[in-house]
Amino acid sequence: MPSKRTLEDARLPPNKRQNNGHKRAPDMYYRVASLENANRARETPPVSLLQQAVREAKQESPSGGDTAVYWMRMEDMRVDDNRAAAAASAFALKHNIPLIVIFIFSPQDYAAHDRGPRRIDFTLRNLDTLKEKLDRLNIPLYAISHSPRKTLPDKVIELMESWNAKALFANLEEYEIDEARRDIKVISLAKEKGIFCDFHEDKLVVPPFKLSTQQGKQFAVFSPWCRAWKQYIDKHPECLVQAPAIQANPASIRDDKKYTSLFDVTIPQHLPGFELEDAEKMEKCWPAGTDAARDALKRFLTTKYRVGQLDVPLLNNGAKTVSKNDTRLGRYSQDRDMADRDSSSRMSPYLSAGVISARELIRETMKFQGVNKINMERDNGGGMWVSEIGWRDFYSHVLSAFPHVSMGRPFQEKYADIKWETDESVFEAWKNGMTGYPIVDATMRQLKAHGWVHNRTRMIVAMFLTKDLMMDWRLGEKWFMQQLIDGDLANNNGGWQWSASTGVDPQPYFRIFNPILQSEKADPSGDFIRHFVPELKHLKGKAIHEPSKHLSEEQFKKLGYPKPIVDHHEARDRAIRRFQNPGSL
């Protein structure tokens, strides 16, 4: 008998695991920090150290130098409504020097953060559109690749010195530990070299560490956090103010020997190690650039949802303009959980890459609502949608204040010893949409086909993996990150730990989704399942949600579709037992 493939040693890198004669897939590996290291990061969160370094750096007095440099990164990929870009442009104008934009690919960082080929390809395509836009303003976009990642700060300073640039501008948009430490190092090296650093908070509507409970602690529950978030925005309307547009360089920069070659740099088609098989399809489905993001937003605000619209271009023809109450935003409160239609905005790829600002989304929603203070009442589509954008801020605040969540540790340490199942073939069945639960399988196949899935179905499959299959949330988190075009560490970790009941403000462990009831609610027409699980395309009524129950054995066999991989009720009891007594079976 061949030995059973298990994930028991998933915490070890593939080359250190026992090899029972089977090839170990690298995606079976996840890192878990020691409690000691996690506690250290938690006591002095790197993001708060970075914010301190940023404040101190701003106290220095800048000198002009020969150029101003804006360092664009993976999550602020726009020039419109971009605070650091605007500040860099104003500095260049004031000192009568040109502006250069740099972008440094760091494949080692991408691999360390499980960035998938789709996310990298989207980055490259957005850079292409930015290059064109900047070119029209005579601003070079100098994109290079660098490794090892540890020396990236030195590379930035080396570039600055090569241009005799004395002012570096960037946005704090990556609130991960490695990136915060990287930025702290850049600021410190810059200081040694007499380079002025002006870093801005730009990713979120409200920056991390601005909100605290009455006891002065960081929030770990969404509702009170959300009330504080709204109050803060009301008191600080500048949170929503659009950053000034950047200004063109003089055309003469193109003939300046020092800068000419910077204009010749081309954006690569792909990065080695991140080649994308379905690049053409992704380009059609998710067009790059701020203009595309704005078109998608406009559609969400002005047109009616359509059933279907699965695995198709975001800006597919045929959307019908309707009156306010009937638009996708107008009906967001009622329809947002429906996976069989384009009920949500699908703005997440653009927000994750910073192609459009969250501020702009809220400003446009306020115009739609006809209000001049944000309205977050959950019974109206606009209010509900703004609170969803709030979740995005919330999870970045959580990541910044409780960095151990990104170190492979549960937010709630009491669940660190939960016993997870380790059968690799079960994990494979989940990944490939072969669990015998149609809503789960349709979602997992959509994830592979489209690089994006609906929030409700993300929750269903995450809950299914961690409760019905009782498999480690870190495996699911990693798989999602590798597949998603909108992969974002804070949101992904937040969503996974919510579903696994290990996170901040999580779903309580005993409230386990019933995948059949969830299926009936999320896909009332059955069109979503029929589209992604063609084995079931002729089924109607309740059979589409639970074919093994509603068809005879004979009829079921003919489908060529797997039987349910677990019995939901038994699996539910097992999950509750294990969460009640972490560490026991």
Q: Residues in the site for ligand FAD, rule: CB under 6 A?
A: 336, 344-348, 351-352, 388-389, 391-392, 395, 454-455, 458-459, 462, 480, 484, 486-488, 491-492, 494-496, 499
The nearer residue to ligand FAD, 68 or 469, going by C-beta atoms, is 469
385 is in an annotated binding site: yes
345 is in an annotated binding site: yes
Q: Residues with Cβ < 8 Å from 203, sequence gap 6 or more?
A: 75, 76, 171, 172, 173, 175, 354, 358, 396
CB of 393 to ligand FAD, least distance (A): 8
CB of 481 to ligand FAD, least distance (A): 7
Of residues 472, 463, 462, the one with CA closest to residue 418: 472
343 is in an annotated binding site: no
Of residues 513, 385, 384, 418, the one with CA closest to residue 459: 513
In angstroms, the CA 201 to CA 219 distance is 20
CB of 75 to ligand FAD, least distance (A): 11
CB of 365 to ligand FAD, least distance (A): 10
In angstroms, the CA 272 to CA 376 distance is 44
391 is in an annotated binding site: yes
In angstroms, the CA 112 to CA 529 distance is 34
Of residues 519, 522, 475, the one with CA closest to residue 496: 475
Rg (CA), the chain: 24
The nearer residue to ligand FAD, 89 or 466, going by C-beta atoms, is 466
77 is in an annotated binding site: no
CB of 346 to ligand FAD, least distance (A): 4
Of residues 116, 3, 17, the one with CA closest to residue 425: 3
In angstroms, the CA 304 to CA 320 distance is 6
347 is in an annotated binding site: yes
Q: Residues with Cβ < 8 Å from 359, sequence gap 6 or more?
A: 81, 205, 239, 240, 241, 242
CB of 475 to ligand FAD, least distance (A): 12
Of residues 66, 289, 87, the one with CA closest to residue 171: 87
344 is in an annotated binding site: yes
CB of 42 to ligand FAD, least distance (A): 22
CB 248 within 8 A of CB 101: no
Amino acid at 534: P
71 is in an annotated binding site: no
The nearer residue to ligand FAD, 53 or 461, going by C-beta atoms, is 461
CB 199 within 8 A of CB 54: yes
**Residues pairing with 506 in the sheet:** none
Q: Which residue has the tokens 């069989």?
A: 340
Catalytic residue annotation = 388, 391, 420, 455, 473, 496
56 is in an annotated binding site: no
In angstroms, the CA 482 to CA 476 distance is 10
Beta strands in 159-291 (DSSP E): 165-172, 196-201
**Counting beta carbons within 10 angstroms of the beta carbon of residue 64, is it exposed (0 to 12), middle (13 to 18) or buried (19 or more)?**
middle
Task: Determine the residue with CB nearest ligand FAD.
Answer: 495
The nearer residue to ligand FAD, 89 or 497, going by C-beta atoms, is 497
The nearer residue to ligand FAD, 68 or 490, going by C-beta atoms, is 490
The nearer residue to ligand FAD, 66 or 311, going by C-beta atoms, is 311
Distance (Å) of CA 177 to CA 112, 304, 415, 497, 522: 12, 41, 22, 18, 36
CB of 288 to ligand FAD, least distance (A): 16
556 is in an annotated binding site: no
Indicate the annotated binding residues for FAD: 332, 344-348, 385, 388-395, 486-488
Q: Which residues are part of a known binding site?
A: 332, 344-348, 385, 388-395, 486-488
